[in-house]
Chains A and B, each alone.
Chain A
């Protein structure tokens, strides 16, 4: 079999559909519910899913949209755990699944961030993932004293931030701590490297006060879809989330991104492309569609329009519900990939405002990745085998139901087709994902068993 597809799933218990948390089977309490997250993590691990996703931001969002604010959209997270701490906790209840923590290069300091991810990697036995974000939500800036930096400045800072972190993670050789009781030599002072980084945004001396972690560096995920975002990923990332409505869109994105990877002198296969998809699998196609219908009935037009407004970063409340979508091709601050993707879809298909928000809620007649395990697996197989992706970030409408169905119905089907691994290998997450071996930039590997 070729390499297994990589499957990623979210552990924020609110679910992927705007009304997912209101489903009768959904968790009755979501805010700060560690037990629910542990249950989801274990469920994912039972399904041999490689990584648990947890998005993050540094602000309470939508306070200017009262209906949406009180209804809580899946991406708003008014009350949730800080990612590295909750992943350190979840690590104690799981053994194999990758632990995904989002953290921003725009408002953090490289020394502090490098430390907590190195710490998480040790705590989890080599399962830490850093989702590198530049803080694309403009509202975050007001919690850090400043205005919202321009995208180019955020990405320049991010690039340097990553260089510093990688340098810090290579501070110690793997054999730097002999801990020899007889001689009294706890560490070998010839096996530590002082980074002495002085750059445009940071001056960081090093070394890091954490031994080299089991994976060397955490697995690096990114999600930026803009030109600078793709370049940053091409240079540094192990995996890149993408946004694509169709296989053709995804193929075009892959071609562009892999070209950028090669331009940075890396093997194009070294960067895994993981599009986000909404998966709704059930015993029958009708059952899956019923779930969407049931959830959509809970969304009023007012809420739907506010939700769409938040996704496209533009207030649509002044537009007629059954009139055409306005032009979304103009630039706005923050994440633009979702805005762009929705705008192109609405223009291409001539959708009204109502139809567009309904499409976001999967309320159209033929939503993708919806149906029986065989039907959903057909689509995933088509994308995967045609090179449109290396795996999927699966967004399920409601939790835990949506993930239970993925694990119990979809995963066995994918395994039967040889598309998905039967079990974990038992190594670090880097090994699970078959990522290239990471050498320590400052120490040869002759001494260092685990980096060879």
Chain B
């Protein structure tokens, strides 16, 4: 079965998406639109709503791009966990994937808010573990220079361990709340963590009861070596930045092997390539939308956008000349840079051709055509082992997502590739993931847990 997720936010994944005549107007801080997206996705039986995040306003040094607002910049947006807590009240089954950073948060505070979200949503919380790849974030937390990747991942690893320890603070039966005896809680069913590590000293216990899912579902996006290792140890699901099926399959194979090396089953880790889907009644209609959106992007926006993705200022290079050498290491997110450089070199693209190619996909795969065309491609990815599901973005909203739900989903269902109803109430149940058992309390007393 394929698992689908999509992105909140409202702009659409194409840089020109928000300018399309049929796109929403007034998307900045528009809660009603977020609720509508959530409902459309839940109508389409999606597993997850995703909200990317960062802790800085980006691209202020690239005025044209800054004013044009790109998909991943988010100069204004909701803090993810508060938004998901609100959306939980308007949905009943879809998972809520909120991004939060291990680099600038504290494990206690983060563990609490995700535990709270899991309770508020009846077991639908999902944490996208990030280490803040964007260098500018550090300046909002007292550092002039970006925290080096190795240090970020060392901290992240300990951070996740502390969170898991805090989430195991209480047995599921720790709160009898017995009015007759006056015993609200059982002092023998709580555990103090007393973690003392390199980065953190956290005593615990957490002041939130054991959550419905035990732990939130854990997601990770890092494609680098330390990112893959972190995911292989801890993550239930990983994003895959893969421009084609071969790259996607290699990534998936590598992640599954790593999971096995960490003592997990290969199937314990789910692979979600990012993809943009242009689904229409005909290929011509899909092409037309694609061209319409491309025409909204001029070089004054396209070049700084590409500069941003490859983390290199390309404004000094001729737009119709080749890309400079991008093999040097950068401090932030290197996965896009590597993927894009490889593609440009392979296909001999100019800067203009590169941004025109990259813009609609951001290094991810692009599916375009009728529901049959798109389902064929998705099925190929799935059957080849490159994807357990997709982060499926629509180029413009809300109609792009409506097309996915109304045209593509029935086609996937017809093929037996996709569910026809949610089968569980918690996200873990819907994903077929086990509820982690609490290692400190025996199972005999804890009805809600399973191994």
Chain A residues with a Cβ under 8 A of chain B = 19, 21-24, 26, 28-32, 34, 57-60, 63, 66, 69-72, 77-82, 84-86, 88-89, 91-93, 107-109, 111-112, 115-116, 118-120, 122-123, 142-146, 171-172, 177, 179, 181-182, 184-189, 192, 194, 202-211, 298, 303
CA distance A278 to B75 in the complex (A): 45
Contact A116 B79 (CB under 8 A): yes
Top 7 nearest A-B pairs (CB, nearest first) are A186-B69, A119-B79, A92-B89, A72-B184, A82-B116, A142-B203, A79-B209
Q: Is B76 an interface residue (CB 8 A)?
A: yes
Q: Which residues of B contact A71 (CB under 8 A)?
A: 182-184
State how many angstroms separate the Cβ of B255 from the closest Cβ of chain A: 30
- Once bound together, how far apart are the Cα atoms of A197 and B139, in whole Å? 10
Q: Is the CB of A211 within 8 A of B76?
A: yes
A77 to B207, CA, bound (A): 7
**Contact between A85 and B82 (Cβ–Cβ < 8 Å)?**
yes
Chain A residues, CB < 8 A from B204: 60, 143
Which of B19, B29, B74, B207 interacts with A58 by CB under 8 Å? Answer: B207
Q: Is B247 an interface residue (CB 8 A)?
A: no
User: How long is the Cα–Cα vector from A58 to B112 in the complex, in angstroms?
Assistant: 9
| Most chain A beta carbons < 10 A, residue from B60, B192, B201, B203 | B203
Say if the beta carbon of B25 comes within 8 Å of chain A.
Answer: yes
Contacts of A185 in B (CB 8 A): 67-68
Q: Is the CB of A210 within 8 A of B106?
A: no
Contact with A187, one of B66, B77, B177, B187 (Cβ below 8 angstroms) = B66
Looking at the complex, which one of B27, B55, B104, B202 makes contact with A179 (CB distance below 8 Å)?
B27
Asked if B443 is at the interface (CB within 8 A of a chain A CB), the reply is: no
- Smallest CB-CB separation from B113: which chain A residue? A82
B179: Cβ under 8 A from any A Cβ: yes
**Given that A80-B208, A122-B78 are contacting pairs, would A86 and B187 also be in contact in the complex, using a CB cutoff of 8 Å?**
no
Query: How many whole Å from B69's CB to the nearest CB in chain A?
Result: 4
Beyond A82-B116, A119-B82, 20 additional pairs, beta carbon < 8 A = A60-B169, A60-B204, A70-B183, A70-B186, A80-B207, A82-B113, A82-B208, A84-B85, A86-B120, A111-B55, A111-B141, A112-B55, A123-B82, A171-B57, A177-B76, A179-B18, A188-B67, A203-B143, A209-B76, A210-B79
Q: Does B381 contact A (CB under 8 A)?
A: no
**Residue among B77, B190, B207, B301 facing the most chain A CB atoms (10 A cut-off):** B207
Can you name 14 A-B pairs with beta carbons within 8 Å? A22-B182, A59-B207, A82-B112, A85-B113, A85-B117, A89-B85, A116-B79, A119-B78, A122-B29, A142-B203, A204-B139, A207-B57, A209-B74, A210-B76
Instruction: List, in ascending order, chain B residues with CB within 8 A of A181's CB.
Output: 18-21, 23, 25
Cα-based distance from A187 to B56 in the complex (angstroms)? 16
Query: Is B324 close to A, CB under 8 A?
Result: no
Contacting residue for A209 out of B56, B185, B202, CB 8 A: B56
Q: What's the least CB distance linking A362 to chain B, in Å?
A: 18
B88 close to A89 (CB less than 8 A): yes
Using Cβ atoms and an 8 Å threshold, which residues of chain A touch B208? 32, 79-82
Q: Is B109 an interface residue (CB 8 A)?
A: yes
Partner of B31, one of A59, A84, A123, A144: A123
Contact of B185 among A29, A72, A188, A211 (CB under 8 A): A72
Q: Closest B-chain residue to A205, C-beta based?
A: B139
In the complex, residue of chain A having the shortest beta-carbon distance to the beta carbon of B55: A111
Contact A70 B187 (CB under 8 A): yes
Complex-state Cα separation, A142 to B88, whole angstroms: 32
A-chain residues with CB within 8 Å of residue B109 when the two chains form the complex: 58, 107-108
Contact A81 B119 (CB under 8 A): yes
What residues of chain A lie closer than 8 Å to B60, measured between beta carbons? 189, 192, 194
In the complex, chain B residues whose CB is within 8 Å of the CB of A145:
200-202
From A22, A79, A204, B140 is in contact (CB under 8 Å) with A204
**B389 at interface by CB-CB < 8 Å:** no
Give bound CA distance, A69 to B198, whole Å. 32
Nearest to A172 among chain B residues (CB) is B76
B434: A residues at CB distance < 8 A: none
Residues of chain B within 8 A of A31, CB atoms compared: 175, 177, 185, 209
Q: Contact: A179 with B28, CB < 8 Å?
A: yes
Provide the bound-state CA to CA distance between A32 and B117, in Å.
11
CB <8 Å contact, A93 and B89? yes
